[in-house]
Chain A
Amino acid sequence: MVTRFLVCFVFAVAIASVDCNSEDPHNVLQSWDPTLVNPCTWFHVTCNNNNSVIRVDLSNAGLSGQLVPQLERLANLQYLELFGNNLTGVIPNEIGNLTNLISLDLYQNQLSGEIPTSLGNLVSLRFLRLQSNEFSGTIPLEVFQLVRYGNLHILNVSDNQLVGTVTIQIQPDLQLLK
């Protein structure tokens, strides 16, 4: 379901077309009239002064489905808050193109697969919370480098099925690593 809605959301932002209302179990998107010139008056969406979307706050909204690669079109996105939903599938590599992201909160979902190495591109990222999902594989070195050389201050990947050892030296500022 979220697949359709996020596609529709992205389309609505980028090309404005799809009627989203029927995809929304909890009515969280009820204000999303696709015909609005920009989505800045939609509930749970925040824009900057140039009417670009900088936040999507849809945590604990009962959404299910998968994240879509088209999210990369929200080029100015700083906060993607989708925790506490029923999201499944993988994190699309394209999320790594959202280089303005400050916070990527996908915790408490049912996401799986590996954490994409492309997240290493998110040099502005300060909060990366992926705990309580079903991620597997190892934590990419590129993500650790965000801690060392980037701005990542909070990294939480606990309660997953990740393996491997943390081999690089973590700077003492890292507040939370489980």
Chain B
Amino acid sequence: MNKTLLVTSLSPDGQALLSLFSSADPSAKESSSILSSWNTSSLTPCSWQGITCSPQTRVTSLSIPNTFLNLSSLPPQLSSLSYLQLLNLSSTNVSGTIPSSFGKLTYLRLLDLSSNSLSGPIPPELGTLSSLQFLFLNSNRLSGRIPPQLAKLSSLQVLCLQDNLLNGSIPSQLGSLVSLQQFRVGGNPYLTGEIPAQLGLLTNLTTFGAAATGLSGVIPPTFGNLVNLQTLSLYETEVFGSIPPELGQCSELRNLYLYMNKLTGSISPQLGKLQKLTSLLVWGNALSGPIPAELSNCSSLVVLDASANELSGEIPGDLGKLAVLEQLHLSDNALTGTIPWQLSNCTSLTALQLEKNQLSGTIPWQLGNLKLLQNFFLWGNLVSGTIPSSFGNCTELYVLDLSRNRLTGSIPEEIFGLKKLSKLLLLGNSLSGRLPPSVANCQSLVRLRLGENQLSGPIPKEIGQLQNLVFLDLYMNHFCGRLPFEIANITVLELLDVHNNYITGEIPSQLGELVNLEQLDLSRNSFTDEIPWSFGNMSYLNKLILNNNLLTGSIPKSVRNLRKLTLLDLSYNNLSGAIPPEIGYVTSLTISLDLSYNGFTGELPEKMASLTQLQSLDLSHNMLYGKIEVLGSLTSLASLDISYNNFSGPIPVTPFFKTLSSNSYFQNPNLCESLDGSTCSLGPTGRSGLKSAKIVGLVCVILASVTVAVLASWIILTRNHKYVVDKSSGTSPSSSGAEDFSYPWTFIPFQKLNFTIDNILDCLKDENVIGKGCSGVVYQAEMPNGDLIAVKKLWKTKRDEEPVDSFASEIQILGHIRHRNIVKLLGYCSNRSVKLLLYNYISNDFGLAKLMNSPNYNHAMSRVAGSYGYIAPEYGYTMNITEKSDVYSYGVVLLEILCGRSAVQPQVGDGLHIVEWVKKKMGSFEPAVSILDTKLQGLPDQMVQEMLQTLGIAMFCVNSSPAERPTMKEVVALLMEVKSPPEEWGKTSQPLIKQSSNQS
């Protein structure tokens, strides 16, 4: 050896390694602690991190996974490292092709290039690496065929090619790789052809993965020879034929994933031999025949999912022997017979899904023994009898759906004792009896859907105590009596449907407090009296359906506030008066405005011309008169009926009116055809031509109309007193005269402030309102020096004389907090009547987005000292602060990590809260990946996809409805599933959360 040369020069191996930098991002070296240890002045690279040498100082191992190399190609110089045994460049952000010269690395035992962006073919030269034991090329963009030359890798134990763009078929020669333990080619959607029967020779195989490919043909019966096989993952492919009974010989099999294929035939009883089988997923095929009772011998079975097949026969009672079974999914088959009571022995069951079969008989009461049951789906069967009261013992029950059966009897009260029941769906049965007041005990209910039964008696007023209820369907039953006004206490209610019952009395004006309501259907009942003025407060209302009742009076002018209303159906009532011009402000009316079969009088208001999006208008069978010119402005109309009124003048000349048949105008004798839209061309139109024979009829109609009008006026007069009372009782706190600003004020600033109490009071005007929460209304206030502050005026408490403890508590907590992400409380003002909190102004006052009027509003602010930006929106409006509020905060943190953005960035750009920002981005045309932190966007596609999945989970967490958020346990499960397809587990790249199980 020439010593001087060694002093002045890095060894050739070292030079070759430095090629990793030649084209690399200069910043890459700085950002990596490993690469910064690569000292180019050393004689050999043997001391560099990630490098191992032989005693002859030749490099034997280059292992720098998860290092940010950012290379556009793999340098061919690496192939001069002729002593190399281990080469691991997994997750190093490398693109380009795999150099064929890597075939010269004849000592190579491990080659891991996974989770990069490599493209091009797999070089056949890799087949010459006769020492190779581990080959990881998965999670790249490799294309072309799988080279048959790989069959020469006689020492190969692991072959991972999954998640690429490989095409062609699997070379049958690979059946000679007898040392192979893992064979994974899944996630290559263009991989086609049959699975070679020769692969059945790979008797050391523990994992066979070929899911999410275009593979077809049958599952080779030779797979029965794979006596070490633990996982057979072959879902979402084109394979057909039957499940080979020979698989019953794979005695080590734990996971059999065959779902979403085209498999036919029956499930072989031979599978019952699989003592270690934990997951049997065969759903989404065309399997027929019975469920073999022998499956009950698979004593390790945890998940059995055979849903969405064509299975018939009865559910074997022997399945009750499966003591560790947690999930049994047999839905969407053609199963008959009864539900075997023996299933109650599967005491580990959490999910039992039997919906959409032809099961009959009764529900076994023994199912009440399933103490861990969370989901029970039985809808769409032929089950009769009563609902067992023993369900009351299933204390973990979360969803109970027995809809669309033939159940009779009453709803057992025990069900309402369940503390976790969130969804109770009993639609479309023949249930009778009353809805017991004890329904209020089930505080966890989010959806209560009992429509299409024969329930009777009054709707219990206690239903108003269900503070989490979002959907309430009681339609098509026999409920009678009044609609309890207490329903108005369910502040989160979004759907209230009680149509087609026998409900009488007034519509409770309190319903106007349901400010989150989107759909209200009270039709086909016997409601009397007027439409409450307070309905104008339901600013989220989308559909208002009140037809076929006995409603009187006129349309309240407050209708103009329903700015999201798309459908208004008031037909078949006894409404009267003129159509108010205010209806013209409801420009959101797109679907339908139906005022037919009432006693409306007067002319059409000019303002109706604003309803340019309206598609269907029915004014028929009223006593309206005057010109219809305004209808010519309704350019979106596709359906119009103004028959049976007394309209007059020319018919508008628009394309739409040309298409109308005379039925639309019938019985309006004074309408006329026109050429210019303003003057009659032909006199009264022949379309509705009043024949002399009909004069008598018309006289009768007029007489009847007069009678109705007189009656209506009388009703209006008699109601007038009440109307005035209603109005003065005031639905808007700001308009109530009870607040008195004249009492002496106390003003306590927490810092030096350049304004006075009078400056603040001057700004408390309606036009400055920027939000309302259940705790109060928030004003934007501009101070004399130009500073903007937010002033929250707390709603008055019911008992004025009591001091508001929560007010004091919030002041105490927030007044001492100093942090940029926490709303800064500047100070507070109060007098005997009014309490004001002063905050720094942040443009979107998060947490106060939706107006809420919780009955507990005076407590709502207590104990709330979460960091602004992380606290859940319900803090703004409800007392129901649960662990779900923490889930929200967790979601915000997740979003921050993924987006590289603070929860609140008032000083940057749009200043949106991160949740709003992500929603906005998702709603925009930009690709979803643009939401991610720019530093993350360049990572391998696989990882980006995982992060996008995580983003989705985060968005679940920040759902504005606490009930719809997952539990933290579910979040963990979801995060684990980010890499969960069975094909994915065991990958070399790390999932965001380490996989601990192999559940699908």
Chain A: residues with CB nearer than 8 A to chain B?
A: 16-17, 25-27, 30-31, 33, 35-37, 41, 43, 46, 55, 57, 60, 62, 64, 78-79, 86, 102-103, 110, 126-127, 151, 153, 173, 175
By the criterion CB–CB under 8 Å, are A57 and B497 in contact? no
A57 engages B590 (CB within 8 Å) = yes
Min CB distance B280 to A, Å, is 21
B495 touches A43 (CB 8 A): yes
Q: Which residues of B contact A26 (CB under 8 A)?
A: 919, 922-923
Cβ-defined contact, B495 with A41, below 8 A: yes
Q: Mark B950-968, 1 if CB is under 8 A from A, else 0.
A: 0010010001010010000
Is the CB–CB distance between A35 and B638 below 8 Å? no
A153:B655 contact, CB within 8 angstroms: yes
Q: How many angstroms between the C-alpha atoms of A31 and B379 in the bound complex? A: 17
User: Which of A17, A37, A173 is in CB contact (< 8 Å) with B655?
Assistant: A173
Q: What are 20 A-B contacts defined by CB distance under 8 Å? A: A25-B955, A27-B959, A27-B961, A30-B964, A31-B494, A33-B425, A33-B449, A35-B377, A35-B427, A37-B452, A41-B495, A41-B519, A41-B521, A46-B567, A55-B591, A57-B590, A62-B922, A62-B923, A102-B615, A151-B659
Contact across chains for A36 and B919 when beta carbons are under 8 A apart:
no
Interface centre among A31, A46, A78, A127 (most CB of B within 10 A): A31
A37 touches B403 (CB 8 A): yes
Closest-CB distance, B82 to chain A (whole angstroms): 50
Given A33-B449, A46-B591, also A27-B473 (CB < 8 A): no
Query: Which 10 pairs from chain A and chain B are nearest by CB?
Result: A62-B923, A173-B655, A35-B379, A35-B403, A102-B638, A37-B428, A153-B655, A35-B401, A62-B922, A126-B638
- Which B residues are in CB contact (< 8 Å) with A46? 543, 567, 591
**Contact (Cβ within 8 A) B919 A62:** yes
B355 within 8 A of A: yes
Which residue in A31, A79, A151, A175 is a CB contact (below 8 Å) of B471? Answer: A31
* In the assembled complex, B214 has its CB within 8 A of some CB on chain A: no
Chain B residues lying within 8 Å of A110, measured Cβ to Cβ, are: 925
Cα(A115)–Cα(B492), bound, Å: 43
Instruction: Collect the chain A residues with CB atoms within 8 Å of residue B100's CB.
Output: none
Given contacts A26-B919, A31-B495, A35-B425, 10 further A-B pairs with CB under 8 A are: A25-B952, A26-B923, A33-B423, A35-B427, A46-B543, A46-B567, A60-B923, A79-B615, A103-B638, A126-B638
**B447 part of interface (Cβ distance < 8 Å):** yes
Alpha-carbon distance A78/B639, docked complex (angstroms): 11
CB distance from A13 to the nearest CB of B (A): 14
Segment 543-591 of B: residues with Cβ below 8 Å from A = 543, 566-567, 590-591
Cβ-closest chain A residue relative to B401 = A35
For B921, the closest partner residue in chain A by CB is: A62
Q: Which residues of A contact B427 (CB under 8 A)?
A: 35-37
Task: Please indicate the chain B residues that have their CB under 8 angstroms from the CB of A57 in the complex.
Answer: 566, 590-591
Contact with A along B515-546 (1 / 0, CB 8 A): 00011010000000000000000000011000
Residues facing A in B380-416 (CB within 8 A) are: 380, 401, 403-404
Residue interface mask B655-682, A partner, CB < 8 A = 1: 1100100000000000000000000000
Q: How large is the interface on B (under 10, 10 to 19, 20 to 34, 35 or more residues)?
A: 35 or more
Query: A26 CA to B447 CA in the complex, in Å?
Result: 19
User: In the complex, how many angstroms separate the beta carbon of A19 from the nearest chain B beta carbon?
Assistant: 10
Whether the pair B355, A35 counts as a contact (CB closer than 8 A) is: yes
**Within 8 Å CB of A35, what residues of B?**
355, 377, 379-380, 401, 403-404, 425, 427
The docked-state distance in angstroms from the alpha carbon of A173 to that of B308 is: 51
Output the nearest chain A residue to B591 by Cβ-Cβ distance: A46
Q: Residues of A contacting B447 with CB < 8 Å?
A: 33
For the complex, give the distance between the alpha carbons of A62 and B923 in Å: 4
B332 at the interface (CB under 8 A from A): yes
Instruction: Give chain B's interface residues, CB within 8 Å of chain A.
Output: 308, 332, 355-356, 377, 379-380, 401, 403-404, 423, 425, 427-428, 447, 449, 451-452, 471, 473, 475, 494-495, 497, 518-519, 521, 542-543, 566-567, 590-591, 615, 635-636, 638, 655-656, 659, 919, 922-923, 925, 928, 952, 955, 959, 961, 964
CA separation between A36 and B590, bound complex, in Å?
25
Q: Please, which residue of chain A has its CB at the minimum distance from the CB of B471?
A: A31
| Given A57-B566, A127-B636, CB of A41 within 8 Å of CB of B615 | no
Contacts of A17 in B (CB 8 A): 308, 332, 356
Residues of B contacting A31 in the complex (Cβ-Cβ under 8 angstroms):
471, 494-495, 519
Q: A43-B542, A151-B659 are in contact. Are A37 and B638 (CB under 8 A)?
A: no
B379 nearest CB neighbor, chain A only: A35
Question: Which residues of B are found within 8 Å of A102, using beta-carbon distances?
Answer: 615, 638
| Cα distance A30–B471 in the bound complex, in angstroms | 10
Q: Which of A25, A33, A36 contacts B922 (CB 8 A)?
A: A25
The closest CB in chain A to the CB of B476 belongs to A37
A78 neighbours in B (Cβ, 8 Å):
638
Residue in A closest to B447 when the chains form the complex, CB atoms:
A33
For A60, the chain B residues whose CB sits under 8 A away are: 923
Chain A residues within 8 Å of B495, by CB: 31, 41, 43
CB distance from B632 to the nearest CB of A (A): 13
Q: Which residues of B contact A36 (CB under 8 A)?
A: 403, 427, 449
Q: B951 CB to closest chain A CB, in angstroms?
A: 10
Contact in complex: A41, B922 (CB < 8 Å): no
Q: Which residues of B contact A173 (CB under 8 A)?
A: 655
Q: Which residues of A contact B964 (CB under 8 A)?
A: 27, 30
Docked complex Cα distance between A175 and B655 (Å): 9
A31 to B542, CA, bound (A): 13
Residues of chain A contacted by B543 (CB below 8 angstroms): 46
Smallest distance from the beta carbon of B112 to chain A beta carbons, Å? 34
Q: Which residues of the partner chain B approach A62 to less than 8 Å between Cβ atoms?
A: 919, 922-923
Q: How far is the CB of A93 from chain B (nearest CB, A)?
A: 24
Beta-carbon nearest neighbor of B332 in chain A? A17
| A120 vs B997: C-alpha distance when bound (angstroms) | 54
Alpha-carbon distance between A78 and B167 when the two chains are bound, in angstroms: 44
How far, in whole Å, are A103 and B656 apart by their CA atoms in the complex?
Answer: 14
A11 to chain B, nearest CB (A): 10
B880 to chain A, nearest CB (A): 18
CB distance from A84 to the nearest CB of B (A): 9
Q: How far is the CA of A57 from the CA of B615 in the complex (A)?
A: 13
Q: Which of A33, A46, A103, A153 has the most CB of B within 10 A?
A: A33
How distant is B595 from chain A, measured CB to nearest CB, in Å? 17
- Docked complex Cα distance between A57 and B475 (Å): 23
Q: What are the residues of chain B within 8 A of A86 when measuring CB–CB? A: 925
* Residues A43 and B519 in contact, CB atoms below 8 Å apart: yes
A residues within 8 A CB of B355? 35
Contacts of A151 in B (CB 8 A): 659
Chain A: CB-nearest residue to B518: A43
Assembled-state Cα–Cα distance A151/B451 (Å): 39
CB of A103, distance to nearest CB on chain B (Å): 7
- Chain B residue with minimal CB distance to A151? B659
In whole angstroms, what is the CA distance A62 to B609 when docked?
31
Shortest distance from the beta carbon of B712 to any chain A beta carbon, whole Å: 28
Shortest distance from the beta carbon of A154 to any chain B beta carbon, whole Å = 8
B454 to chain A, nearest CB (A): 15
User: Which residues of chain B are near A41, meaning CB under 8 Å?
Assistant: 451, 473, 475, 495, 497, 519, 521
| A57 CA to B590 CA, complexed, in Å | 10
Q: How far is the CB of A174 from chain B (nearest CB, A)?
A: 9
Q: Using Cβ atoms and an 8 Å threshold, which residues of chain B touch A126?
A: 638, 656
Q: Shortest beta-carbon distance, B877 to chain A, in Å?
A: 18
Least CB distance from A108 to B in Å reads 9
Chain B proximity of A82: nearest CB distance (Å): 14
Cα–Cα distance between A24 and B418 once the two chains are bound (Å): 29
Residue of B nearest to A62 (CB): B923
In the complex the two chains form, what is the Cα distance from A8 to B465 in whole Å?
A: 34
Contact of A153 among B377, B401, B656, B959 (CB under 8 A): B656
A57 to chain B, nearest CB (A): 7
Q: How far is the CB of A50 from chain B (nearest CB, A)?
A: 15
**Residues of A close to B379: CB separation below 8 A:** 35
A60 to B447, CA, bound (A): 26
A88 to chain B, nearest CB (A): 11
Q: How far is the CA of A43 from the CA of B452 in the complex (A)?
A: 19
